Chain A
């Protein structure tokens, strides 16, 4: 039990918690539901401003990783650090403080049905952070403008299309300016054009607002778009250019297989390994 209580810190963890260390660390995480092991010895780090894209078959444990990072689930073994703080031993009250720096976009959006778009997006500002109303309203307008839905302020979630709901969910997650955003199948079920809009929002947030992100998806097209593009602002215009060099290395893929990390590397490395590894080849084709 290398990562159990009282065990010495692994080299990965020493590096991770050193100066300039990453914003998220999973170190030897195990999790089982009843008899079924979902995650087996999962370790990775996420550097500030970088992106991890988690791919894997259904039930491979992708969304579970996001829920562990948010503290919605507790690992059976292993350690999880967010912003240098160990969260797997925290109480729910302590986790609330950690979550102020985290935003999550849930599958299907998980918008609050009884609240308007404005109330959904500003929920954290109005209810938890108690921003002055005019300041919170201004921020809500700002983020809705960022995702191109400024005119939908007073609509109810039921009046929105699937793509709009997903974009409102992104706006809600980013409203309180968290430094980390977690996307759980943010583009699943969307048409290619809407999915591309959501992908561009993810890239914009990462490159223009320095948000670190973890993206769980089944959609390879979206995964490679986020990994291989960068948002560039020139004056008032915004373009999405092909990422190269150091920028391309800032987005890494993690491929989960049966609860274990089968591969971790950049988009280029994924393409190369797919030529040799049958499973990854089958997964990507």
Chain B
């Protein structure tokens, strides 16, 4: 029992150490040559444009259900006109970043782990190194950079469409006037909330993609190993999204409020 615990602790520490090394190499790759511009653009497209549909749908339905649920609750206090406040505050501060993060973790984190994992077990990563290419610069830097930039943009889109979803439900089902809804949306938001909604996705994007890359590049054990890595990447990055969201929120509250 003790032996297994020691083994587990050792392997967990090794994983953390390797992850930290990967992050260090990413920052080094970011500021030194060679830099693969074309791969960065390809990843912007794969991670950003590719995730647009799922993020739009998630944002839209989240805004709609939020308006629906809060509408009926607020109705009990005769405060149906305040729905916009609740929708905007919840989506911009919390639901937009977290749900976008979770969607990207499911779609992009798993994809990266599977892709890099397959490349590992079929020796393509070794072949890259043999051909004189550093896999960190070629594969990891463009992906993390794309995650860093595209997840905040996707979050803005998700939050925006979420508020539109809320507007549709509020005006059509709750019969609140558009102007009342949008006025409440603006009243419900403070500048700190907007900053919080903009800052958090940078951390989430970085976390999701770096975990996907780390897990993918540590893949062993053939196709079974690729399947295991894909699952591990989704689980680890989804849990990390929630954990990082809490930590960054805590930090920003201390800093801004």
Which one of A92-100, A188-196, A217-225, A253-261 contacts B? A92-100
Interface size on B, residues (CB 8 A): 14
Interface: B129 (CB within 8 A): yes
A43, chain B: closest CB distance, angstroms: 23
Complex partner residue of B127 from A93, A96, A110, A127, CB under 8 angstroms: A110
Find residues 153-175 in chain B having any chain A CB closer than 8 Å to their own CB: none
- Asked if B130 contacts A99 (CB within 8 A), the reply is yes
Q: With A92-B134, A96-B134 in contact, is A70–B123 under 8 Å at CB?
A: no
Interface: B133 (CB within 8 A): yes
Residues of B within 8 A of A113 (CB): 118, 122, 124
Interface: A104 (CB within 8 A): yes
B138 nearest CB neighbor, chain A only: A127
Complex partner residue of A128 from B118, B123, B127, B131, CB under 8 angstroms: B131
Interface: B126 (CB within 8 A): yes
Find residues 89-132 in chain A having any chain B CB closer than 8 Å to their own CB: 92-93, 96, 99-100, 102-104, 106-108, 110-113, 123-124, 127-128
A272, chain B: closest CB distance, angstroms: 36
Residues of A within 8 A of B133 (CB): 96, 123, 127-128
> Complex: how many Å from CA A268 to CA B130?
33
Residues of B within 8 A of A106 (CB): 123, 126-127, 130
> Complex: how many Å from CA A204 to CA B123?
26
Residues of A within 8 A of B118 (CB): 113
> Complex: how many Å from CA A92 to CA B135?
11
- Asked if B134 contacts A72 (CB within 8 A), the reply is no
Interface: A177 (CB within 8 A): no
Interface: B132 (CB within 8 A): yes
Q: With A107-B123, A108-B122, A108-B123 in contact, is A96–B132 under 8 Å at CB?
A: yes
Residues of B within 8 A of A172 (CB): 131
- Report B56-96 CB contacts with A as 1/0, cut-off 8 Å: 00000000000000000000000000000000000000000
B131 nearest CB neighbor, chain A only: A124
B44, chain A: closest CB distance, angstroms: 17
- Asked if A110 contacts B132 (CB within 8 A), the reply is no
- Asked if A67 contacts B126 (CB within 8 A), the reply is yes
- Asked if B124 contacts A72 (CB within 8 A), the reply is no
Residues of A within 8 A of B122 (CB): 108, 110, 113
> Complex: how many Å from CA A112 to CA B124?
6
Residues of B within 8 A of A108 (CB): 122-123
- Asked if A112 contacts B129 (CB within 8 A), the reply is no
B129 nearest CB neighbor, chain A only: A72
A sample of 16 inter-chain contacts (CB < 8 A) reads A70-B130, A72-B126, A72-B129, A92-B134, A93-B134, A96-B132, A99-B132, A100-B132, A102-B130, A106-B126, A108-B122, A110-B127, A113-B124, A124-B131, A124-B132, A172-B131
The 5 closest A-B pairs by CB, nearest first: A110-B123, A110-B127, A104-B130, A106-B123, A128-B132
